Structure 1
Amino acid sequence: MERIIEEIREDLSRRIAVAADRLADRTLTEDPAYAALLGRAELRERIHHNLRQAVEGLVRSSRGLPVELADARATGTLRAEQGLPLTSLLRTYRHGGRLLWHTLTEAVAAHDRAALPRLLPSATVLWDVLDQMTDAVTESYRRTEAAHTDRDRERRAALLDVLLDGAAATDGPTASEAADRLGLPERGRFAVVVAASGGSGTTAGPPERPGAPSAPRVLWRIRADGETGLVDLGHHPLESVRELLAPLGVRAGVSPVVGAPAELAGAHRLAALALRTAPESGGPSTALLDERLPAALVAAQAELAGRLRQVVLGPVLALPAEDRRTLLTTLGTWLTCQGSTTYAAQRLYCHRNTVSNRLRRLEQLTGRSLSDPRHVVELALAHAAVLQRGAAQPATRPAAPAPRVSPTPAGTARRSPRRPA
């Protein structure tokens, strides 16, 4: 094979130059990506060089030498950095390979048609050379593309940190600049989502996880303690965030709506607070802060929450586990049912009188009356504090006796502010 190439080298060189012209014209006509990136002279020169490299690779392989692939790797790196699609690059390489074989057979036939049978065994060698060059281009392209993706992800994460943490370096971008680089409007409707780690859903994903076409855009920042999402609501209601998160199967807290990127750091803190109000038991849930404000007040003050549990519900927490669970569940259900004993009984699958008896016992133990709105507020907040603590535990030290409600006159039943059934 090497001997044939040497005999036709001058003619083959002329034919390869013509082939490079033809392939450059075809590529610029058929592939807009190339046409937008390269001029004809530059493209033609690169194609001409690659065709000659393939011929030299054929000669080296016939000698048992490895194919030189440095140029192919350099091409893959360059085109990835320029943003040329890999499909465009590989298509040109495939066209070049077929064109080179056709050019080679024409040159051999013009020199000595009887030598054509000697050329056929070289077809396998040539295609192997072309495969090696294509593989080298592809590997280099993908490695460069992956490196760019990692850098882009790091840059995006840093920009999200500026917005979500409000901690930009002295020479770093401001919140407004970070928002602009992320494609966010200067004024709009934004919210922040904080999803707990260790949920049943995935906590690893792309930095931008688009939902349905009609869903808000979410930019995700993945951290060891979970995911934080910056939501560009646009015209969507805040409630749409709950629908967006439902398929992910995670516990999450959602901030109120804010109107400017500079307010996102505060929204991030409020979303984390909202997450603390979402119960860890009971499966995935999404807590919107504005729907959990009493619980959020308790969550924001851990020391006061502990004191509230002890002072208001201390005697209940000191009961045996089953009694404690029964009374706390009844109180929570009664509060959820907006003070309706009848509705609470239906949810608890017991008689209305059973619920009334449990509530009277709760009043006696706590010294709080369910007919006094101030006492109801105390009991509701204390109950929220118990839920956030987790499973209710017996009090380690009995609380000071709570003031008792004045006795009800004989013959008069104590009434709680329960909704008429």
Structure 2
Amino acid sequence: MSDALIDIEPGLAGVAPAVGEHVRGLRDPLHERILGTVRAAMRAQGRSLTGGQGQGLTLGVQTAVDSFVDALADPGRDLTATRAVFHALGRTEYREGHRVDALRTVLTLGARDIWAFLVAHSPRTAPADLYVIAGALFGYADALAGAAAEGFLDEQRDAAQDWATTRRRLITLLVQPEPPGDAALHAAVDAARWVLPRTVAVLSVDGVDAEHLARTIGGGAIATVVDDAVRVVLPDPGAPGRLDRARRALAGRRAVLGPTVELGRARLSYRISRRALALRQEGRLPADAPVTTDEHLLTLLLAWEPGLADHLTDAWLAPLAGLRPATRRTLTETLHSWLRRQGQVVAVAEELHTHPQTVRYRMRQLRAAFGAALDDPDTRLTLQLALRHHLGADSPRQPPGRRNPPPR
């Protein structure tokens, strides 16, 4: 808003001071007339001038009228205080849930009514001066509406920042190492205006559009950005249609869905989805959107601690380390199939497209390398995990180093 009315309408410099003084004399009836007009406009919007916002708007109308009539008599007077009143009214409009243009409508109607009143009560004012006053009046109303719109948008921005901070605090509380106490949890839930769910699942999604994603998923989802990725807490994922809607919202996004857990175990779902997203970024999980971690728990288990599965493979496949690469590859594939097929030679031969006798020959070599360990259930499980990791690696690994062989 301009600092003075003369900045809005420079033609006021040529209007005789007596015109301004005449308008000043109409202050009281203008108050009454414009308040009536504003009340009617408010009723049309389903509102009234009672309550805090009504009292504030009444004060705003009086301030606007007083400031305008005084500025006609003194066009250079500062209008900053008037701007502040309407900036505050714009903030209140947002807080009370009204539209950004509701106050502008009231101001426009008020300005028209002021103009009609001035024309009717200024028979001795020259038409040229009335036209100048009209330009000043409607420019003034636009400037006040602009100040109100700025206030509305400022409040909207501040509220969004406060809302994001409040929900971020809630999510941080849910996924912290120690489960929050009941009092702290309920206080955070109340502040975030969230309905406390029985179960949750945490989504990890590439990107930083947390608020947009939460709104798109709906169903009470809340989200924030943690470590350069969006973390979405999805309440009661088992509710009808909730997961389907989340999947639709995530179409085309790199995302993973953690397991559904009780609210007090939200950190587990968060940690699993976080690690799964990292694996997906590395290309070690499917590119489907979203990946459901419950379908890839074995991959997650093997890849949870970087380097641990490599060490497992090196240690437990050490008996094959001294063989030629082609022989080592053949024997590891055979052993993996034999373990998966529970020792059924014919099934192994069919899977490997070879003769059963060849499988038996290879198994004699493997028994010579591993000994009685191949008959131990725990050893079989460990070997199968090591082989799965070794044969499922995306890039060829170095031959397992010579280390202490597994127990026999």
TM, length-normalised to structure 1: 0.70
Partner letter of residue 315 of structure 2?
A: V
Matches of 2:224 and 2:252 in 1, distance apart?
A: 15
Partner letter of residue 263 of structure 1?
A: R
Residue 34 of structure 2 is aligned with which of 2, 6, 20?
A: 20
Deviation of 1:344 (Å): 12
Deviation of 1:220 (Å): 0.7
Q: Work out whether residues 253 and 272 of structure 1, in 8 Å CA contact, stay in contact via their aligned partners in 2.
A: no
Residue 69 of structure 2 is aligned with which of 55, 67, 75?
A: 55
1:256 aligns with 2:260: yes
Q: Which residue of 1 aligns with 2:228?
A: 225
Distance 1:21 1:285, change over 3 A: closer
CA deviation digits over 1:153-207, x for unaligned, max 9?
Answer: 212211221112156899x952233234434444523112233xxx4xx332317
Residue 310 of structure 1 is aligned with which of 314, 320, 327?
A: 314
Partner letter of residue 402 of structure 2?
A: P
Matches of 2:325 and 2:121 in 1, distance apart?
A: 95
Deviation of 1:125 (Å): 3.0
Which ranges in structure 2 are unaligned for 5 or more consecutive residues?
1-14
Partner letter of residue 68 of structure 1?
A: L
Deviation of 1:310 (Å): 0.9
Partner letter of residue 120 of structure 1?
A: Y
Q: Work out whether residues 221 and 228 of structure 1, in 8 Å CA contact, stay in contact via their aligned partners in 2.
A: yes
Q: How many residues align?
A: 385
1:190 aligns with 2:200: yes
Matches of 2:58 and 2:238 in 1, distance apart?
A: 48
Residue 70 of structure 1 is aligned with which of 73, 77, 81?
A: 81
Q: Which residue of 1 aligns with 2:154?
A: 143
Partner letter of residue 144 of structure 2?
A: M
Q: Which residue of 1 aligns with 2:127?
A: 116
Which residues of 2 match residues 211-250 of structure 1 at below 5 A?
A: 211=216, 216-232=219-235, 233=237, 235-236=239-240, 240=244, 243-244=247-248, 246-250=250-254
Q: Which residue of 2 aligns with 1:416?
A: none
Matches of 1:284 and 1:42 in 2, distance apart?
A: 54
Matches of 1:209 and 1:45 in 2, distance apart?
A: 39
Q: Which residue of 1 aligns with 2:136?
A: 125
1:299 aligns with 2:303: yes
Which residues of 2 match residues 13-412 of structure 1 at below 5 A?
A: 13-33=27-47, 37-38=51-52, 43-61=57-75, 65=76, 67-81=78-92, 83-84=95-96, 85=98, 86-109=100-123, 112=124, 115-165=126-176, 174-195=184-205, 199=206, 202-206=207-211, 209-211=214-216, 216-232=219-235, 233=237, 235-236=239-240, 240=244, 243-244=247-248, 246-258=250-262, 261-275=263-277, 278=280, 280-281=282-283, 283=287, 285-302=289-306, 304-313=308-317, 352-353=353-354, 377-383=381-387, 385-386=389-390, 391-395=395-399, 397-399=401-403
Matches of 2:268 and 2:91 in 1, distance apart?
A: 39
- Identity within the alignment, %: 18
Which ranges in structure 1 are unaligned for 5 or more consecutive residues?
405-421
Matches of 1:340 and 1:279 in 2, distance apart?
A: 38
Distance 1:139 1:10, change over 3 A: closer
CA deviation digits over 1:195-247, x for unaligned, max 9?
Answer: 3xxx4xx33231761336xx643211212332211111252478648725642
Matches of 1:340 and 1:99 in 2, distance apart?
A: 95
Distance 1:147 1:19, change over 3 A: same
Distance 1:256 1:289, change over 3 A: farther
TM, length-normalised to structure 2: 0.72
Deviation of 1:372 (Å): 9.3
